Amino acid sequence: MVTLKDPTLLRSDCLIDGKWVTAPERTSPVTDPATGRVVGLVPDLGAAEAEAAIAAAARALPAWSARTARDRGAILRRWFDLVVANADDLAALMTAEQGKPLAEAKGEALYAASFLEWFAEEAKRIYGETIPAPTTDKRLLVIRQPVGVCAAITPWNFPAAMITRKAAPALAAGCTMIVKPAEQTPLTALALAVLAERAGVPAGVFQVITGDARAIGGVLTGSDVVRKLSFTGSTEVGRILMSQCAPTIKKLSLELGGNAPFIVFDDADLDAAIEGALASKYRNAGQTCVCANRLYIQSGIYDAFAARLAEAVRAMKLGQGTEPGVTIGPLIDSAAVEKVESHVADALAHGATLLIGGRQPPAGGNFYEPTILTGVTRKMKVAREETFGPVAPLFRFETEEEVIAMANDTEFGLAAYFYTENVRRVWRVAEALEYGMVGHNTGLISNEVAPFGGIKQSGLGREGSRHGIEEYLEIKYLCSSIG
């Protein structure tokens, strides 16, 4: 079990219509990926409970959307304060069910909180417009209104932040939201629901339902009461959900897979590039959709970069997230380890060289050593697929033109990174990369004030920033005749 300062944050029931719902005969265990131990039990709910949640969200909508923005903002602000005050417990829950090191988990709790604070403020800035009319007898206005009942389906890699990044703008806009968290990480979601309730979020405005993903997802996507789905997860599941939303023409925000290039030019600041590569590649054990997946290093700096990265990786500490000094935790499950193994084996079979790592530590479990592969080519799986693990494949390149072509040669377009000290190149490369987000001389780009999202098959819409709230608003045009 997890030890919390406030044990009431560990729930084994779901929040539906302001009530904590259990299903004594139907529960699913939540396990610690580092040890395999059961850390909690959550209800295994399905279609009927999803229907009930939709009905409650619809009932709660008129009163919630009628409140002033200031009022909704004040409640979100209280939720923010509570998430910050309980960051240690949220971190403990995340480390227990997801595996990330405690310091990283605490960082996520605060990152998750930042969306609540940001959108508490943005609620007050949902501006309309007046438009000069084409004739003297008309007055034209634009108002922005909440989309209505929204659903969110969230992943396990950021158990807290992927929820607040959706729920905060939804609630700020006046929408109500039902969250179906990933089956691996429901405990953090339920703790967030406890804090939402304590902050004064009314019954039905924010609900969390755990259980059968397909059954719940089917009801949420099929309902014509639900007007929007926000999903973060794999491109395959995103495609399925998008098609399920087609009959009701639902609004969609999709944050899907990435295959991020990380480009280091000969003229880069090597120290900065190593620091960025470590953060972007090995954070969350390589399990983020913006993690560097392909590292392109220019010939002149290739050997020096590889040697320095290996030295830095050697200093990393792999282990249980609760152990002091651990910088890299386990992967989420054995399937994730198998995928990483298959990518490394495929690269080695096609002529890559293992510089460091490349195996599971003898203790077993879902751990995989931070790994570096050199001599990597386009033929290998690591060039095309998202590895979602702690493997850095180093590709060698000669020219800027060549590396831009390789970097863009993917159906994904989420995040890209490049390192150069040449200011002309900064603009050329930043504009040429076909990605929704580009980091120059940094491996860390995510924050609440900037628009997060991808192009191509990495998704639709943006989260965070002033753009994030637009996803939860409809535009209404009012044409008034005074003639």
Rank residues 104 and 122 by Cβ distance to ligand ADP and give the closer one.
104
Q: Which residues are catalytic?
A: 255
> Which residues partner with 371 through β-bridges?
391
Say how many CA atoms lie within 13 Å of 40 toward its Cβ.
33
Q: Are 453 and 255 in contact (CB under 8 A)?
A: yes
Q: Which two tokens stand for residue 41?
A: 């039990």
In the complex, the smallest distance separating the C-beta of residue 213 from ligand ADP, rounded to whole angstroms, is: 3
In the complex, the smallest distance separating the C-beta of residue 237 from ligand ADP, rounded to whole angstroms, is: 3
In the complex, the smallest distance separating the C-beta of residue 183 from ligand ADP, rounded to whole angstroms, is: 5
Rank residues 182 and 404 by Cβ distance to ligand ADP and give the closer one.
182
In the complex, the smallest distance separating the C-beta of residue 287 from ligand ADP, rounded to whole angstroms, is: 8
> Which residues partner with 477 through β-bridges?
142
For the chain, what's the residue count? Answer: 483
Query: What values do phi and psi take at 306, rounded to 5?
Result: -60, -45
Nearest to 383 by CA among 408, 362, 359: 408
Which helix (H) or strand (E) segment is 308 a member of? Answer: helix 299-314
Query: What values do phi and psi take at 451, rounded to 5?
Result: -75, 120
- In 10 A of CB 3, how many CB atoms? 10
**Cα separation, 186 vs 118, whole angstroms:** 24
Rank residues 185 and 420 by Cβ distance to ligand ADP and give the closer one.
185
Using CB atoms, what's the residue nearest to ligand ADP? Answer: 217
Encode burial over 185-209: b for 16+ CB neighbours within 10 A, e otherwise: bbbbbbbbbbbbbebebebbbbbbb
In the complex, the smallest distance separating the C-beta of residue 262 from ligand ADP, rounded to whole angstroms, is: 21
Rank residues 155 and 329 by Cβ distance to ligand ADP and give the closer one.
155
Tokens 């000094």 correspond to what residue?
A: 325
In the complex, the smallest distance separating the C-beta of residue 278 from ligand ADP, rounded to whole angstroms, is: 23
Rank residues 61 and 229 by Cβ distance to ligand ADP and give the closer one.
229
**Contacting residues toward ligand ADP, per CB under 6 A:** 153-155, 180, 182-183, 213-214, 217, 233-234, 237, 240-241
**Cα separation, 247 vs 76, whole angstroms:** 33
Rank residues 231 and 472 by Cβ distance to ligand ADP and give the closer one.
231
Tokens 């040697």 correspond to what residue?
A: 307
Residues in CB range of 85: below 8 A, 6 or more apart = none
List C-alpha distances in Å: 60 to 5, 18, 56, 116, 392. 32, 10, 6, 20, 48
In the complex, the smallest distance separating the C-beta of residue 243 from ligand ADP, rounded to whole angstroms, is: 11
Rank residues 214 and 378 by Cβ distance to ligand ADP and give the closer one.
214
Full DSSP string of 416-461? EEEE-S-HHHHHHHHHHS--SEEEES-S----TTS-B--EETTEES
**Cα separation, 156 vs 104, whole angstroms:** 14
Rank residues 257 and 443 by Cβ distance to ligand ADP and give the closer one.
257
Radius of gyration over every alpha carbon of the chain, rounded to an integer in angstroms: 23
In the complex, the smallest distance separating the C-beta of residue 118 from ligand ADP, rounded to whole angstroms, is: 24
Q: Are 192 and 164 in contact (CB under 8 A)?
A: yes
In the complex, the smallest distance separating the C-beta of residue 151 from ligand ADP, rounded to whole angstroms, is: 10
Say how many CA atoms lie within 13 Å of 161 toward its Cβ.
20
Rank residues 180 and 294 by Cβ distance to ligand ADP and give the closer one.
180
Distance of CA 316 to the CA centre of its chain: 24
